[in-house]
Amino acid sequence: MRDYQIRRGDTLSQLAARFGTSVSALARLNNIRNPDLIIAGANLRVPDGFSAPRPSAPGSVPSTQPSAPSTRPDRTEDVAPAQGDTRGISAEELQRIMPSLSPQLAQRYLPYLNSAMNEAGITTPARRAAFLAQLGHESGGLRYFEEIASGAAYEGRRDLGNTQPGDGRRFKGRGPIQLTGRANYRAAGQALGIDLERNPERAADPDVGFRIAAWFWQSRGLNSLADQGNFREITRRINGGYNGYDDRVQYWNRARQVL
C-alpha cells in the first residue's frame, strides 16, 4: 500500500487511470462516499503493485459556444462542502425562480435536481441561488435540455474532441448546462460512471443531466465562488466569457430572494 497526496486538479477517475486501478476500488479503499469530491492536500491510499502516476498533460479544451459551459480540465474542490440543508428546495420555490417552468415539469425535475445538488455540496442558499441562476439561463428556465440547433456547427471541432464524422451533431449541447463536444461527454461520463460517448442522448435526461451540471459545477470549484458571492467569475468559468450576463443576474437576484 502506498500514499499519494491529492493535488489541485486531480479527479478520482484520472487517478484511477494513472494508477491502473478503478474508481470504485479507490473509493472503497479510502472510504470515499462521493467519488466526485476529493480534497486537495489529502492522502489517497493506493494498492501496491500499481505504477506511479504519470504527470498530467497540460492543456485544456476551450468553451464551445456562447451558452455552453467552459470546458477546462477537471478541478478538485479544495475546500470541504459547507454545511447546509440537504432537504433541498420545493417545487414552489423552483417555479418562482423559473417562472416559465410548468408545475408538471417542476415536479418531475425536483427529485433529480435536489439529489444532484446534494451530491455536489450545493446545499446553502448562496450556492443554490448561483447554481440555479446559471442553469436557468443555459436552459431557458429548464425548458430546453437539448440544443435547438443541429450541432453541425461543431463538426470537426478538434478543440471539443470532435474528431469523427458526425460528432458535431452527435455531441451537441445537452442537459441544463448544455454539455457540448465528445471530449466533454467523455469526461462527464467517466466522472459519473456513465458511458456518454456511446449514449450521448442520456445527457438530456433529467436524472443524468442534473448530475452532469452538478459535477461540472463542483469540479470547477464554483461552490467556493458562490460562497464569496463572486457571480461574475462563476459566469466566466461556465461560459468562457459573459454572454447573457444580465439575464443570468436576473435569475440570480430572483433566486436569492426566493431562497
Contact 4, 51 (CB under 8 A): no
- The amino acid present at 222, given as its one-letter code, is L
DSSP for 90-148 reads: -HHHHHHHSTTS-HHHHHHHHHHHHHHHHHTT--SHHHHHHHHHHHHHHTTTTT-SB-S
Between 256 and 30, the more confident residue is 256
Q: Tell if the pTM clears 0.85, that is, is over it.
A: no
Domain 152-200 in the same topology as domain 91-146+206-258 = no
- Structural domain boundaries of the chain? 2-46, 91-146+206-258, 152-200
Residue 233 annotated as catalytic? no
Q: What is the pLDDT of residue 51?
A: 37
CATH code, residues 152-200: 3.30.20.10
Evaluate whether the domain defined by 91-146+206-258 bears CATH number 3.90.1150.10.
no
Encode pLDDT of 98-130 as tens digits: 999 999 999 999 999 999 999 999 999 999 999
Q: Which of 92, 138, 146, 201 is catalytic?
A: 138
Q: Is the pLDDT of residue 92 over 70?
A: yes
DSSP for 141-154 reads: TTT-SB-SS-SGGG
Q: What is the mean pLDDT of residues 220-249?
A: 94
Q: What is the mean pLDDT of residues 46-55?
A: 46
Can you tell me the distance from the alpha carbon of 35 to that of 76, in angstroms, rounded to the nearest whole number? 11
CATH code, residues 2-46: 3.10.350.10
